Amino acid sequence: MRTKIPIEMQGRVFSARNTLQYFSIPVGYILGGLLTDKLLEPFMKKPSAPQQFFSYIVGNGTGAGSGLIYIKDLLYRSKSHFIKFISTRLIIVALI
């Protein structure tokens, strides 16, 4: 990226990029909290086959929905693209 942007413009371009990058952090915290409170916690409280599967991993008490966020994050951050593909599909299928 540094080779494609003229030297005299790099300060402005990188500051704009950093502004957008750091602005997205609190947005992610808010969305993660809403996702946990409104979707994942209720999902882990109602009995179903996917809920039973995930309860073996993260438990089934208070905070189990937050545990799903961590499991998804661990699987998504792994180096294997196959695991990223499967983990995203597992979470989506489990929530449907």
* Placement of tokens 């957008």 in the chain: 20
Neighbours of 40 (CB within 10 A): 23
User: Are 41 and 64 in contact, with CB atoms under 8 Å apart?
Assistant: yes
Residue-wise pLDDT for 38-58, tens only, equals 988 998 888 888 888 888 888
**54-95 confidence digits (pLDDT tens):** 888 888 888 888 888 888 777 777 656 666 666 666 666 666
Give the pTM: 0.60
Amino acid at 90: L
